[in-house]
Structure 1
C-alpha cells in the first residue's frame, strides 16, 4: 500500500469510529428514551446523563466554544436536558424534542427534573398518591408539565409540582431513564 492509501484508510477508519460514537447507545421506546449504555466522560461523570438548566436564558451553540454561533436560546430554568458528550468545559446536550447543541458546563445543574410525557396525545396524565395505578389520583397533569424528581425506584418516580407531591410511572417522564434509580 502506498502512503496515500494508508492515510486515506486511516481517515476512513477514524470517520467510521466517530460516526459510530455519534449514534446513541440505546434503542428507542415509546417515550423516545431507554436505558443508555453508560460510559464516563472527561469530567469523570457518566455519559449520557440528565441534568437541568440553571437559568432562564441559556445560549445553545453550534459547537463547544463562544466562537460558535448561537443556535437557539433556552428561556426557562429547570428544564431537563440530557448531556450526551463533553469537550473541555462544554457539554453537548439534547432536549426533549431531540434538538442538540453545546452549553457551558456552569449553566447546568445536577438537580433532577422531568417533563410529563411530552410525546403524549392525552389531555392529562394521572399523578397518584402512592406508586400504584389503583391508588387515588393526587393530580392530573398535562403533557409537558415540568416536575421536580424526588426519587425513582426503577418503575415509579415521586414528583412534585406546585407543592403537590405524588407518584408517576417512570415511563411517563422525560428526564429519567427507564429502570434508573434516583435517590
Structure 2
C-alpha cells in the first residue's frame, strides 16, 4: 500500500478540518421588527405561513436573491425577506435557566431566565457558554444548550 508524502497528508488533514468546521457553522439572524411575515416560497405573492415578533431567532439555511430560507425553533421552514431580518443576534431561552456571573456553573447566579425570554447574544466563546445581556442591562453567561439561536 502506497503512503502519501508527509506534506500531502498535512494538507489533506487541514482541508478536511476546514471543511468540517465550515459544515458545522450555523448562521442565525433575528426578526428586525414585530410582524415579520414568513412565506411558503421566495415571492411576495406566495402563501403567508406565519408571523414572528421582533428579536425572534431564525436559522438561515439558504439565500435566493432578496430572500432567505429559514427555520424557526420548532423546525418549521419558510422564506423571509432579507430586509426583514437583522444581524443583531438574540437567543431564546428554552427552559428555566440560571445566568451566571462567569462561564462556570459554580459561579454566582446573576438572574434566572424563563422560557421564551429573548437575550442579546454578546459572545460565543465556543466553550459551551454564551455571554448574554438581558434588556434590563444585566449580563452573564448561559449554557448553549439552554437557548435557541446560537
TM-score, structure 1 length as denominator? 0.66
Count the aligned residue pairs.
128
Residues 1:102 and 2:109 aligned together: no
What residue number does 2:93 align with?
A: 116
1:40-79 to 2 correspondence within 5 Å?
A: 48-74=26-52, 76-79=53-56
- SS of alignment partner, residue 63 of structure 1: coil
Equivalent residue for 2:129, pick from 143, 151, 156: 156
Q: CA RMSD in A?
A: 1.6
What residue number does 1:168 align with?
A: 142
- SS of alignment partner, residue 151 of structure 1: strand
Residue 144 of structure 1: CA displacement? Answer: 1.9
TM-score, structure 2 length as denominator? 0.80
> Which 4+ residue blocks in structure 1 deviate beyond 2 angstroms?
none
Structure 1 gaps of 5+ residues are 1-34, 39-45, 177-183
Residue 36 of structure 1: CA displacement? Answer: 7.5
